[in-house]
Every structure is written in C-alpha cells, then in structure tokens.
Amino acid sequence: MKKFIQASIILFTVALTTSPFATEFSADMISQMATGNIAGKIYFKNPDVTRSEMMGMISITKRPIVYQLFASTKKYFVSSIDELKDKNPIADAGDFASWIKQNNMKNTGKESMSGYKCQIYEGEYRTEQSQPPMHMKIWYSKKLNYPIKTEMTLPPPMGKVTSYLENIKPGKLPQSLFVIPGGYTKAASMEEAMGMPDMGALMDNITTGGAPSEEKMPSKEEMGEMMEKMKEMMKQMQQNN
C-alpha cells in the first residue's frame, strides 16, 4: 500500500523540466489507468517551482524539496527529489536533455498535441532494481518545456498508464499557489499526513521477523478509518471513469 501511494505521487506529480526560461502555464491533467481515470491540475511556475492537485492531494515542488499536502487532515509531508529518484528516475529529470540521454530515450518523431509541436521520445527504463524495464513514450513540448503526454507500460495488474494535459493556459501564476497555506502542520510520515496508520513500518517489522507491538499495531477503529480513506481515494480515482 505504501509503495502504491508513493508510486502514484511520483508518476503523476513530479515535473519533467529543464530550461529556466519556460513559459508559465496552468492545465488540466488527466491520467488513464486500468482502475479508471484520474483528473487533476498542474501549475508550472518555472522549472524548479510547480504545483499539482490530484487524488485529494496537493504537491508543491520547490526543487529539490517536495511538499505533499492533504486538506482532509490539514497536514503535509516533506520529501526531496533525491529520495524520490530512488523510486523513479523521472523525479530527477531536472535537465530533460540529460535525462533522455541517461535513460537511452530515442527521438522517434514529431506530433502536435493541444496546439503545441512536440518531439516524441521513447525507450525502456526502471523504477526499481527489482522491477523489469518499463516502456515509456513522451510527447515533449519545447515551448512549454513540459511533456504534454506520457505513456508508461507498468507491470501487471496496473498495465498502461497514459497522462496528458488539456486546457493549457499560458500566463503569469500567483506566488500564493506555491506556498503552504496557514493552518497546516508538518507530519512525520506520509501515512500521518493522510490520516492513516503507518502500515509501512508495521509491514517492515513483520517481514524482518519481528512481532508487531501493541503500540505499532493499528486498532480496529484505525483499520476501519484506513479502509474508508482508501475507498474514498479509489472513488476519486474512478469518478471520471
């Protein structure tokens, strides 16, 4: 569960960026996957500062720091690009030209998407050493300095994940979009920020041969709350299906 949440955050909220002179813009962001469609928003201030809204979470990236906020709990979790790139090389794609070279992505053609000319890059990459290579295809707009569309073929049961931008609106974005609102407090873990028990720590303890203590073992009520939150998340994922 923990890895699924982290993978979702990484795949759908980390920007592929390069030039410091990119156009500011906002856009609708749609992701299509086997479990249904997910709709969100992306705000691109510059290559180091972005904001995305998806699955009930707000992600604010101020490279190299990433803030993940949850309105339901009024909490946020802080991570870094260095931490995220251990799970997915996309997280470290601050220089797009270097990233496609490092990951052996090939330029396979051109196509216009949403009124923008795009170069198409394609190749195989890994998200973790234990996983087989995954095929990835990127429609990259040099004008926006952002991928307008990506296709990733993930291992079963996830299958192909397609993400693309719609209703792209170039224009100056207010700085207030990229600051943590008042009333939010910092959480020690992603689970705490989401209002869930730390199942990752519990499973790590079990798989290393330890018996979960009463303090670490979630109560029946906590388990019920966790399941309800997961159901709500899945409902949000499928609401546009």
Q: So what's the pLDDT on residue 9?
A: 44
- Asked whether residue 161 carries a pLDDT value surpassing 60, the answer given is yes
Per-residue pLDDT tens digits for 3-40: 444 444 445 444 444 444 468 999 999 988 887 888 99
For the domain 2-188, what is the CATH superfamily, name and number?
A: Lipoprotein localisation LolA/LolB/LppX (2.50.20.10)
pLDDT band at residue 160 under the 50/70/90 scheme = confident
Whether 110 and 140 have beta carbons less than 8 Å apart is answered as: no
Q: What's the whole-number mean pLDDT along residues 48-57?
A: 90
Domain segments of the chain as ranges: 2-188
pLDDT at 165: 96
Q: Are 221 and 228 spatial neighbours (Cβ–Cβ below 8 Å)? A: no
Could you tell me which residue, 203 or 118, shows the higher pLDDT?
118
Kindly state the average pLDDT of the residues 79-84.
77
pLDDT tens-digit readout, 187-217: 999 889 988 766 555 445 544 555 444 444 4
pTM: 0.73
The confidence score (pLDDT) of residue 233 equals 52
d(CA 175, CA 46): 11
Compare 75 and 89 and report the one with higher pLDDT: 75
Token pair belonging to 208: 């290393």
Pair 136, 125: CB distance under 8 Å: yes
Top mean-pLDDT range of 77-91, 145-159, 181-195, 205-219: 181-195
Higher-pLDDT residue of 155 and 148 is 148
pLDDT of 76 strictly over 60: yes
